[in-house]
Chains A and B, each alone.
Chain A
Amino acid sequence: MTYLAKPKLHHPDLPANSLGFTRRDYEGTISTLCAGCGHDSISAAIVQACWELAIEPHRVAKLSGIGCSSKTPTYFLDKSHGFNSVHGRMPSVLTGANLANRHLIYLGVSGDGDSASIGLGQFAHSMRRGVNMTYIVENNGVYGLTKGQFSATADRGSKSKRGAVNSEEGIDLVCLALQLGATYVARSFSGDKAQLVPLIKGALSHHGAAFIDVISPCVAFNNHEGSTRSYDYVRHHNEAVNALDVITVHREITTAYEPGTLQEVRQHDGSVIRLRKLDGDYDSSSRISAMSHVQTRYAKGEIVTGLLYIEPDAEDLHASLGTVDRPLNELGEPELCPGSAALAKFNASLR
């Protein structure tokens, strides 16, 4: 059996969101990934975030490349259109889709092999173009689907399951995204749902290129001692710079945290991200300090998580291209075809 439909039995007591949908309405088919794979927790976090934000599932376009991580869009939001493209090339497909209809919500899901190896170019260019999307890398430091080769995000010196030591420098996608102009940059851990869900909510509410690097241990090939992407390693080296809460436009905003430790960021769509600083010095409005913070802690073996950078009033690709507000896929002959009279003029200019 290659396809497992999830039985849709609704527990009568399941809570519904403002659209009347329960969490089940945001689910997909049953995952075929290994039991315990970090990617499944990320799918669950996506379901939770979309439910909490009361997004209409069919207004989401979910796109991915190739890999275990890229398979996951089948496992959430089965009312939305999905696209499992080719290895490393999800960003271009997503960019094209976004150009065609700017009114949908774009969710890109990728792996570290997908985004940092074969697809590094497309990853980079989608960030610098400011495509309005939530781009999630499910980062396990290995190629899961092709069974355990190192990916380009594996740390130098980390060990593979078979004991091979990675001799190449790892690519830090967060630093790259920061440098390339992403306007919402975060890192999290698949095992930390409390942190991940609000980060995804913030990204989905963000108008611009939002990137989340999620450390997602591969239980089959990269969850051993010596790996810097194992559950244990991440749990012990996680340094969260902040905790956040996302409040959508629909909900009344009330203050709950101690002043001084709380920072409120109002986004383009009206939603408010409430950041509670864990690290007193951390400034999520500065690209440069975000980069330096991540690098400094990395040198100490720490993995910085949380919302690392946000530019609340970001502009997206459509703004730079000056496209009309109406989705391009809705335009018809009247807007698109200049007609025979214009053609006659054109002909006349060529004689």
Chain B
Amino acid sequence: MPMKLEAVNDFVIKFANVNGSGSASANTLFAKAIMRMGVPVSPRNIFPSNIQGLPTWYEVRVSEAGWLGRRGGADLMVAMNPQTWEKDVVEIEPGGYLFYDSTKPLHTDKFRSDVTVLAMPLTEICNATYSDPRQRQLFKNIIYVGALAALLDMDIAEVEKLVAEQYKGKEKLLEPNLKALHLGRDYALAHLPCPLGITVKRSDKVGDKVFLEGNSATALGAVYGGATVCAWYPITPSSSVAEAFARHCRKFRTDAATGKNNFAIVQAEDELASIGMVIGAAWNGARAFTCTSGPGVSLMTEFIGLAYFAEIPSVIVNVQRAGPSTGMPTRTQQADILSCAYASHGDTRHVLLFPADPKEAFEMTADALDLADRLQTPVFVMTDLDIGMNERLCDPLEWDDSRTYDRGKVLTHDDLESGKRFGRYLDVDDDGITYRTYPGTHPKRGSFFTRGTSRDRYARYTEEGSAYVDNMQRLLRKFETAKQYVPAPVLHESPTPARHGVIYYGSTACAMEEALADLELEGVPLDALRVRAFPFQDSVIDFAKAYDHVFVVEQNRDGQLRTLLINEGVLDPAQISSIAHYDGTPITARFIRSEIEERLAAFNVRPLRRSAAAGER
């Protein structure tokens, strides 16, 4: 009899499924039911770049403490995919559990001696109950959710309630789903060791938190931020931003009187066209955005340079995935930091925002629309697949109704009428940001020519070196001004004085916060700074300089944020090193902790060479 893992509200369960088997909604149902019991959950889709047949996983971390990062390992594996059996079995923690469809029982050498096997003849039960092949497939998923509810001692009423919500208005489907749920539960209660050592117990740690997908939050941010034009081209993992924008707009932006749309969404022919439309719309005074991922940004760079140089507000949501090239299109990374910060030829620098969760994705997308107008420049919202395509628990979204859109320096008809000479690129306020007019504003004044070619302060084409330098210097001034408008970094100070610092950003945050807490408990104090935007405020550079050593935790091979920090802050590369996780899965607290511990241990070892050399003398 193997030893058994024991834990209440603190474990990882992983579902190994076959893509296209309809498991997604059953798995989400399972995660949501735990959340409804007041226990924080954090699910992650791990899926391949294909539509049907290949393996897909859904990993649910249950954590009373509220940790939302991946932990690593699985305490209970629901192994529904024979293709990945070997790999899945290996992943189970010692003392863990393996749930499988025993319609065709497996030989004992297929199992591990330190794992408890939970065998349930799912296919057999389905075949006996349902005649339609699709039903057999779909209900199999609900049946295992019912069984798990019993095994984990979950409140079946919560699951039932969720099923009822899901099939509201489709009563025909409700009954059979509830029946399947009970079929699974009854079997487990009768035949399996219910409850297991790992269980879910009702708690109150969820509070008023919401369970929300990042891409949907991003899209809602665009709605609240006043975007009226969205031009996009399908690419995983960003497509659902545009699709959610369309959904939210249909709900919130249809003119009640006429039924017409207060928005325009165009699925463009490619990314070149989508950013072109954004630029055209923004030039003409509408708030516009596009959503894409790395390959799309690559295609957009010529236009992004135009938007930078011609000073046209444009918002680009980059839901990052693993590159280079097609890389791992359905895996997560933070690997477009440099290519976005300096996108395009020539000297350019762009504003980047780094949301850490769906709530920030919502806020920063709305902010990006303000910032782009204020600064008249491209602004990137740098989310990633981990935030974008997973549901996360986060604080409820908030909106201040007194907030008004910052349309930046736009001269109206009356402004122009009242007189002074308008110069499109005159730095009147000495902050690098100049005044613009929308086309058609005034019959005689305020029109100007927009071009990606060099021009003077009155927007007249010129190749005079001095006018070019004057303009490029002003653009630098503007970038400096941007620091005061972008979101400030968040500091986590250790209660005990720390010699070392950590910088992190974006989706890494949830794992990082857990790692920091663990390290603190182990007596490793670290000060940490979560960077939320580029350009870096002075406080970011000051932080990077203030410690013996600073780690930059990120999800790419080359430590791109580290490079950007060194470059922009003129930092000593020896004093700042990167902790890089880039296999396409979201970074874990375990990984961060062990990397930091290892490095710190290495710092404490006295350099042998030097002492030996000293002895020789």
Contact = CB atoms under 8 A, between A and B. Distances in A.
Interface of A: 2-3, 56-59, 61, 63, 73-74, 78-86, 89, 91-101, 103-104, 121-122, 124-125, 129, 317-318, 321-325, 328-329, 331-333, 335-340, 342-344, 346-347, 350-351
A318 B209 CA distance: 40
B252 A99 contact: no
B94 to A, nearest CB: 36
B404 interface: yes
B441 to A, nearest CB: 8
A214 B498 CA distance: 72
B401 A92 contact: no
A344 to B, nearest CB: 8
Interface in B250-287: 252-253, 255, 258-266, 268-270, 272-286
Nearest to A103: B440
A219 to B, nearest CB: 22
A56 B442 CA distance: 10
A59 B288 contact: no
Given A89-B303, A321-B264, A335-B262, A122 B404 contact: no
B211 A328 contact: no
B543 interface: no
B281 A2 contact: no
Contact of B220 (A98, A99, A346): A346
Given A58-B441, A92-B276, A339-B401, 14 more contacts: A2-B461, A3-B462, A74-B461, A92-B280, A100-B280, A100-B282, A124-B269, A125-B273, A129-B266, A317-B266, A321-B266, A331-B226, A336-B253, A338-B223
Nearest to A29: B460
B269 A328 contact: no
A101 B440 contact: yes
A209 to B, nearest CB: 14
Contacts of B397: 343, 346-347
B327 interface: no
B443 A323 contact: no
Interface string B434-458: 0001111111100111111100100
B430 interface: no
Nearest to A1: B462
A341 B397 CA distance: 11
A80 B464 CA distance: 25
A96 B261 contact: no
Given A79-B443, A328-B264, A347-B210, A336 B226 contact: yes
A84 B309 CA distance: 12
Nearest to A119: B272
B261 A56 contact: no
B461 A3 contact: yes
Contacts of B316: none
A79 B444 contact: yes
Given A74-B461, A84-B452, A328 B279 contact: no
A58 to B, nearest CB: 5
A83 B210 contact: no
28 contacts: A58-B440, A58-B441, A58-B447, A63-B280, A74-B449, A81-B437, A81-B440, A81-B447, A89-B273, A93-B283, A96-B231, A97-B439, A99-B277, A100-B281, A100-B284, A101-B284, A121-B270, A122-B269, A323-B261, A323-B263, A328-B286, A329-B285, A336-B253, A337-B226, A340-B399, A344-B396, A346-B220, A347-B210
A55 to B, nearest CB: 12
B262 A328 contact: yes
Given A82-B450, A346-B220, A99 B279 contact: no
A99 B223 contact: no
B269 A121 contact: yes
Contacts of A125: 268-269, 273
A48 B548 CA distance: 72
Interface in B213-263: 220, 223-224, 226, 228-229, 231, 252-253, 255, 258-263
Nearest to A342: B252
B280 A3 contact: no
Nearest to B391: A350
A160 to B, nearest CB: 27
A94 B439 contact: no
Interface string B25-42: 000000000011000000
A346 B247 CA distance: 13
Contacts of B253: 335-336
B400 interface: yes
Contacts of B441: 58
Nearest to A59: B440
A350 B439 contact: no
Contacts of A95: 266, 273, 276-277, 280
Contacts, number: 234
A248 B399 CA distance: 50
Contacts of A343: 224, 397-399
Instruction: Label chain B's interface by main secondary structure.
Output: loop
Interface of B: 35-36, 206, 208-212, 220, 223-224, 226, 228-229, 231, 252-253, 255, 258-266, 268-270, 272-286, 288, 302-303, 306, 396-401, 404-405, 437-444, 447-453, 456, 460-464
A100 B208 CA distance: 38
A93 B277 contact: yes
A63 B276 CA distance: 12
Contacts of A323: 260-264
Nearest to B394: A350
A99 B210 contact: no
Given A79-B447, A92-B276, A350 B211 contact: yes
Contact of B398 (A124, A337, A340): A340
A81 B208 contact: no
Nearest to B275: A92
B228 A322 contact: no
A340 B211 CA distance: 18
B300 to A, nearest CB: 11
A84 B449 contact: yes
Contacts of B303: 86, 89
Contacts of A329: 228, 281, 284-286, 438
Contacts of A350: 210-212
Contacts of B400: 340
Contacts of B451: 82-84
Contacts of B226: 331-333, 336-337
B50 to A, nearest CB: 27
Nearest to A96: B280
A92 B276 CA distance: 5
A81 B261 contact: no
B374 to A, nearest CB: 16
Nearest to A63: B280
B351 to A, nearest CB: 20
B261 A322 contact: yes
B519 to A, nearest CB: 32
A324 B261 contact: yes
